[in-house]
Amino acid sequence: MKKALVAGATGLVGRELVRILLNQEEYAKVTVLVRRRMNLEHPKLEQLVVDYDRLEGLAGELVEGASLFCTLGTTMKQAGSKELFELVDYEYPMTLGRLAKRYGAEQMLIVTAMGAKRGSLFYYNRVKGKVEEELGKLGLPKLCIFRPSLLLGDRQEKRAGEQAAMKAADKLPFLFSGPLERYKPIRAEQVAAAMAAAANNNIEGTRIYESRDIAAMA
């Protein structure tokens, strides 16, 4: 029986991922690292309230043998500064990666973004690319990187661009065919389903799943 450790469980993808993991027979326990308790109860669920700035002190037994899922992420607008953005999107995932290596996690699975590249012209994608590259250097037994396109789902904040993309994908699907297929918006539950599926395969090493790969797995 597997055990899961989820960082970012209250986010768009994280919420869906926790729901899926709790309903999978493979997992005997799902531990979520949260700043505040979620309004969710389940016999297999353990909610651990943590200070993300002190993740280094996380107990080793929580990580040992676990499937470590990282769905942490913010935006420049939400973060308010480059320093705070990198804290959430780079520093916290790297701390989790080092813990995974130190205590022998079975695998680590992380959501980054389409276009992630350390040398990108766009700051957002540079940070995502940097965390991918640095996690890859840790030598984890299994690292799965998910690069979704525009994420759709039930957000607390409404985004005009997201709403427009959703309507375009529904009413004008030909816009995202052929070479533009990779830009087709994808729903958060599809990303979560793909992460859960990848965690249950026996492929080792580093694998990168682009948005169309994710859609095919979900």
If we measure between CA atoms, which residue out of 188, 199, 201 comes closest to residue 9?
188
Taking the whole predicted model, whether its pTM rises above 0.85 is answered as: yes
Predicted pLDDT at 169:
54
| Within a domain: 52 | yes
pLDDT at 218: 81
- Which structure tokens are listed for 5? 């450790």
Q: How far apart are the first and last CA of the chain?
A: 23
Residue 201 lies in a domain: yes
Domain count, the chain: 1
Residue 168 counted as domain residue? no
130-164 pLDDT tens trace: 999 999 999 999 999 999 999 998 765 555 555 55
**Would you please indicate which residues are annotated as catalytic (active-site) residues?**
124, 128
pLDDT, residue 57, reads 94
10 lies in some domain: yes
CB 103 within 8 A of CB 64: yes
pLDDT of 157 reads 58
Contact in structure between 185 and 149 (CB atoms under 8 Å): yes
Report yes or no on 164 lying in a domain.
Answer: no
- Take residue 190 and report the two structure tokens written for it: 């599809």
Regions of the chain where pLDDT drops below 50: 174, 176
CA–CA separation, 69 and 62 (whole Å): 13
Domain that holds residue 32: 2-155+186-217
SS (H, E, C) 48-65: EECCHHHHHHCCHHHHCC
CATH code at position 109: 3.40.50.720
Q: Which tokens belong to 24? A: 């999978």
Q: Which residues pair with 48 in a beta bridge?
A: 33
Q: Indicate whether 166 belongs to any domain.
A: no
> Per the domain annotation, does 169 fall within a domain?
no
DSSP 131-197: HHHHHHTT--SEEEEEE-SSEES--SS--HHHHHHHHHHHH-GGGGSGGGGGGS-EEHHHHHHHHHH
Q: Is 37 within the bounds of a domain?
A: yes
